[in-house]
Amino acid sequence: MPGNPSTSKGRYPTLVTAAVWSAAALSLWGAVQYQQAESAFQRSSPDPFRIGEQDLRFAEFRAAVPAGATLGYLTDTPPEDPRAFPMFLIAQYYLAPRLLQKSTAYDLVLGNFMRPADFAALGRQYGLRVERNFGHRVVLFRREAHP
């Protein structure tokens, strides 16, 4: 009987069903396209500051230095280098709640370097000695005792 609700219950018009299937297919196609585009972007534009590696780089340093410490900061990156400020901010983020100050006038100083070097010689220039080299170009310096 036309108009009998029991016969039309649970049935959708063909156009509605086709629209739902089309939307699902387009969503799936869009997800695949996005994943491919993102993968290509990540291959062509790697993380220049290696943000993902910083947690590992600073892990041992965090464990060795008390959370309430205020530390100086020493780097081999010149201040005019565009990487200098992000390097400082990244270190500050991963070492929080420890405070970093852009100065070597503190008893404890974080050495955050881009390149391997003679860290002991660099520290001596500022009256610092290597307390511990954590690897990954992360060094803890201590101010030399004054005679």
d(CA 136, CA 46): 19
Whether 92 and 118 map to the same domain: the answer is: yes
Whether 87 and 123 map to the same domain: the answer is: yes
Tokens at residue 120, please? 């002991």
Q: Which domain holds residue 37?
A: 7-44
Q: Taking the model in full, what pTM does it have? A: 0.67
Whether 104 and 126 map to the same domain: the answer is: yes
Whether 30 and 96 map to the same domain: the answer is: no
Whether 33 and 101 map to the same domain: the answer is: no
Q: How confident is the model at residue 63 (pLDDT cuts 50, 70, 90)?
A: very high
The tally of domains found in the chain comes to: 2
Nearest residue to 72 via CA among 127, 141, 132, 4:
141
The helix (run of H) or strand (run of E) holding residue 101 is: strand 99-101
Question: Does residue 11 form part of some domain?
Answer: yes
Q: State residue 146's pLDDT score.
A: 64
Q: Is the four-CA dihedral 19, 25, 29, 32 of positive or negative sign?
A: positive
Q: State residue 53's pLDDT score.
A: 83
Q: How confident is the model at residue 42 (pLDDT cuts 50, 70, 90)?
A: confident
- β-partners of residue 141 are 109, 130
